[in-house]
Amino acid sequence: MITTTATMSPVSRTRRRQSTIHSALSPRMTSAAFASLHLSVLSCLADIEHSLSQLESPLHDFDLGQAICKSELKVDEVRAWARDGLEILKQIKAELRSHLPEFNIDSTSVETYVSSCLHDLSDSSSLKRVTSCLPELPRLPRPENYISTVSNHLKSLHSHLSASNTLSHMTFPSFPSTAKLSELIDMMITSDRLPAVLRARAMSRTEDALGKVAIEVARAIERSLHGGKLITYGDLPMEWRNNPFVTYGYRFIPLSRWHLIIASIFALHNETLNIHTHLIPFLLWTSSVIFTCFGSSIPSASAAVVDTPILAFTIFALFTLFSSVVWHTMAGCAHHRGMVICAKIDYVGIAWLISGTVGTVVYYGFQCNTQTRSIFLIICLINGLAGTVIPFWDWFNSSENKKWRITIFLSMTFSITLGPLVQLALLHSARDTFAFIRPVIPSLASYVAGLLFYATRFPECVLPVDSPRLAWLGGGSHALWHIFIVWAISLHRDALPVLKDGVLGATTGICPLLAE
């Protein structure tokens, strides 16, 4: 049966690319290339060394005397020239033997031998603890890093020999030509073979990493029975691991079985509560907005309820809830790119929720100063746009950068909040400003409480090691974070009709602009 590339799995394609690279430029062939270079350089240097040794030897005084007569050079000058050349040769040969291999060693056989001797050392964590206590050892020199060095040394030798080229060719026809040395240098610089070997090593490392991920994904899909069974945290590929305190209840469903991904919304797993704590409020508030905007038969009542800032904030909140539901649903997908994109869209929703929350305070706080209000609303818009771009940077979604994500979102919040509050205090007073924002303080407290759970991963971080750890429903720190977010949104929506009275309305009961 013939298997085409189109029908091959990603793992098969990866393994095929790896086998092609290793067969074309395998470690054995890489060693052979460096060993061949080693022999070529030594062969060239041996001829030069033999001739220089003859010039330096007293046994050749007669021939050297004839050379001096023809070239008008002194014996001491010629011998000094030969000794200097021999010193350069000696240095090159010493470095060459320590940096470039003289023979081939099959790396596969070495690895097999080492693994057969160390088969009992299966606990890699113990080895890591031991090595962490050892002093850091210097890195072993790699042959490819020495290529430019030996090339420079050969250039120096070439220049030294060329300085007395007349002597070597006119008087000693048997003296090897420096053209051979020059050709060897050009070969090292322009040869396709050595750069190909170096590129192949880098490509091989990249392919090995990609192949490792593909194998981990295939293994996780197999253990999950192609999405039909929950797996453990240790079964997940490294790119899917997020919370080490939740050790079981993970979905791993291939994207081709998308219907199982959708159906998992209503199944039991460690994301169940994370999904439904935002899905249920999303459905309820969406129904409320639709009924308010299109279901009321009384135009005056509809106009009284649907205020522009309230409607805008509700839309931003609904987008945040929906993007969260999509992300936690796709967290169980075996397609890495699709999962990551949904996670980034979730962060975008958080950014717009921040901008929408502050925007409502700005809108109602500066009702009597429309120009100032427009400036701060534009800043909120820019903040939302920045929050749309930043999550799509590659580093942003990494689990190790969680603290940086929190820092960025807090910075975004403070950057668009402090300015309007200070300006309100200058226009009115600190007391009036505090009275104005007092209705949103419970909402702010709810956001902060949820953030604490999100950042600390409490309570799962203190659960016993052998506990199921919220495997079937979730209910950990992230679900609590969701509950506090929903509560904060609800509290803020309830506070908006009070904020509508403006800063002066909070103390005197009426804003001059609204009274006109």
For 255-515, CATH gives 1.20.1070
Tens digits of residue pLDDT in 19-44: 543 444 444 555 555 666 666 677 77
* 3-state SS, residue 407: helix
269 annotated among ligand-binding-site residues? no
Secondary structure, 3-state, 461-485: HHCCCCCCCCCCCCCCHHHHHHHHH
- CA 66 – CA 63 distance, rounded (Å): 5
Tens digits of residue pLDDT in 67-114: 555 555 566 777 777 778 788 878 777 776 666 555 445 545 555 555
38 annotated among ligand-binding-site residues? no
Say which DSSP state 295 is in: I
Question: Measuring CA to CA, which residue among 40, 47, 154 is closest to residue 100?
Answer: 40
- Look at residue 368 in the predicted model and tell me its pLDDT: 84
Alpha-helical (H) ranges within 332-462 are: 336-365, 370-389, 402-427, 430-437, 441-456
Question: Domain residues of the chain, as ranges?
Answer: 10-110+142-215, 255-515
Ranges of beta strands (E only) in 325-469 are none
Report, as ranges of residue numbers, the positions in the chain whose pLDDT lies below 50: 1-7, 10-11, 14, 17-18, 20-27, 62, 103-104, 107, 166, 168-176, 189, 192-193, 300-304, 509, 512, 514-516
- Look at residue 132 in the predicted model and tell me its pLDDT: 61
User: What angle separates helix 402-427 from helix 336-365, to the nearest 10 degrees?
Assistant: 10
- Look at residue 243 in the predicted model and tell me its pLDDT: 87
482 annotated among ligand-binding-site residues? yes
Global confidence as pTM: 0.61
- CA 507 – CA 397 distance, rounded (Å): 45
Tens digits of residue pLDDT in 190-249: 554 455 555 555 555 555 666 677 888 888 999 999 999 999 988 999 889 988 888 888
- CA 476 – CA 292 distance, rounded (Å): 35
Backbone CA torsion sign across 163, 164, 169, 172? negative
